Structure 1
Amino acid sequence: MPLSGSGETSAAQPLPMSFPLPAAAPPTARRTRARAVAADPDEETPAEETRTRETPVGDRQLVFFGAETAEPSVADLAGLLAGPGEVHRMGGTARLSVVVDAGWRVHVLVAELAQRGVRATWTPTEDQRYAVRTAYTRAIVPLAAAWLRGPTQQPPAGFQLDGRRLRLWLAAAGVVDPPEILLHLGGVDPGRWSVVGAALIAAGLVGELVEPGAGGPAYRISGRRRVLRLAELVGEPPPAAPPGAWPVRD
């Protein structure tokens, strides 16, 4: 069903039922903000553990830079643009869209976007996937301004990835295939991929670039420490994620 320019469907459309509707999430403990900790991105030794310093909240531990250490914001949507997400401008507004391969991803993304005050709709694609699109809104204009160079989409200088951005990227295009995780990319420009790869390194996640002909473009995160690091950063699995689709903390 096509979407109008406002991001609304012509009729109310339920979320795809290839995965059941998630139950309402219980109230979570109050989040606390944490300051960044410097890290050596190439180190994968016990020193890496110092980058995952934890702050107790209730009966759980929250990781610095993790998805649970700060309130969601529209800026987190840059995580979708690190992957296959695309942003488009129209006048004084902008819209973000991403195509996903499973109904559970639609559930997760619509819920994550709603947490950030951004309304989203979805439509099936001809190749049996789902296109998730936000409405055109002024809230996304800063993202569009940072990422668009004319018709070309590129990460801005100094682009960084934290737990909240990684959580959205994983929800849209992450594939858990133990003992590794693939984070699929968008676009066709290796320069765009290299900037994202540098941001992964800065987050303590050294990834191997998988070329398009070999099942990419994607970054492969492998090794127990790095996979655990990613699991700590992205936080608990969303209610809609099926078993095995989300990395878990040991």
Structure 2
Amino acid sequence: MSQLSFFSADLTPPRVEDLGGLLAANGQISRSADGARLSILLPDEWRAKTLLREFRVRDVEAEYLPAAEALSIGLLTEEGTTTGVLLRSSRTHELDALAREWTRGAVKSVPSALVAAAGLMRCWTLAAGRHDEAGYLLGLDRHAVDTWEPLASACARAGLAGALIGPRGGGPALRIVGHRRHARLVELLGTPPPEAPKTAFPLPEH
């Protein structure tokens, strides 16, 4: 029987900074006098359910609703967005530091000293992780190209060196390949959530 790593998301205390994993994917964060709000459009309801739990264990309230409904009441502005689920936090000062770290002006930017820690990697995987025929993909934000290289570098420092692939190759995403890197990712992420399909969450290789 394998033992959980001390660095597994199962054993590390949850931190608000971990929610930066949604920003590594296609999440967005905005600031106002009432605090910051983190939101992300997700392709599957199971992702919204699992991430809702990640918000709440960090004492940040959040909600989700179908994208079509969010579009009809003005919470989404992207034309043609009628599928998927919008997950968004309440507006809170608990997220102010995260907003400062992940933005330069009004543009999303990766923190210069970002550490691809277990909690952040778990949130990123829940938001945008999936298998493909060549390895495991961590989805990136197609509207924030400048974040791709810094995120790849942070993953490499954590033992998760991967290949950046563009939209034509099935991305944008960071593809993790190789037994050692896959095992490292599994080690960091901890126990798969019960809602996740087996094809979506990386599992230990037998």
Query: Which amino acid letter does the alignment assign opposite residue 63 of structure 1?
Result: S
Deviations 1:199-244 (A, max 9, x none): 0101101110011232211101111221111111101110111223
Q: In the alignment, which residue of structure 2 is the partner of 1:132? A: 87
2:152 to 189, 197, 200: 197
Q: CA deviation at 1:178?
A: 5.5
Q: In the alignment, which residue of structure 1 is the partner of 2:109? A: 154
RMSD over aligned Cα atoms: 1.6
Q: In the alignment, which residue of structure 2 is the partner of 1:112? A: 54
Q: In the alignment, which residue of structure 1 is the partner of 2:43? A: 101
1:72 is the counterpart of 2:27: no
Q: In the alignment, which residue of structure 1 is the partner of 2:132? A: 177
Q: Distance in 1 between matches of 2:201 and 2:33?
A: 38
Q: CA deviation at 1:110?
A: 0.7
Flag the structure with larger Rg.
1
Query: Which amino acid letter does the alignment assign opposite residue 234 of structure 1?
Result: L
Q: Distance in 1 between matches of 2:109 and 2:3?
A: 35
Query: Which amino acid letter does the alignment assign opposite residue 235 of structure 1?
Result: G
Q: In the alignment, which residue of structure 2 is the partner of 1:166? A: 121
Query: Which amino acid letter does the alignment assign opposite residue 173 of structure 1?
Result: A
Deviations 1:167-215 (A, max 9, x none): 1100010012355111101143433111100001011011100112322
Structure 2 residues not aligned, in runs of 5+:
68-80
CA contact (8 A) 2:130 2:199 kept: no
SS of 2:151's equivalent? helix
Structure 1 residues not aligned, in runs of 5+:
1-58
CA contact (8 A) 1:179 1:224 kept: no
SS of 1:245's equivalent? coil
Q: In the alignment, which residue of structure 2 is the partner of 1:211? A: 166
Q: CA deviation at 1:249?
A: 2.0
TM-score, reference length from structure 1: 0.73
Q: CA deviation at 1:158?
A: 1.1
Q: In the alignment, which residue of structure 2 is the partner of 1:144? A: 99
Q: Distance in 1 between matches of 2:160 and 2:114?
A: 15
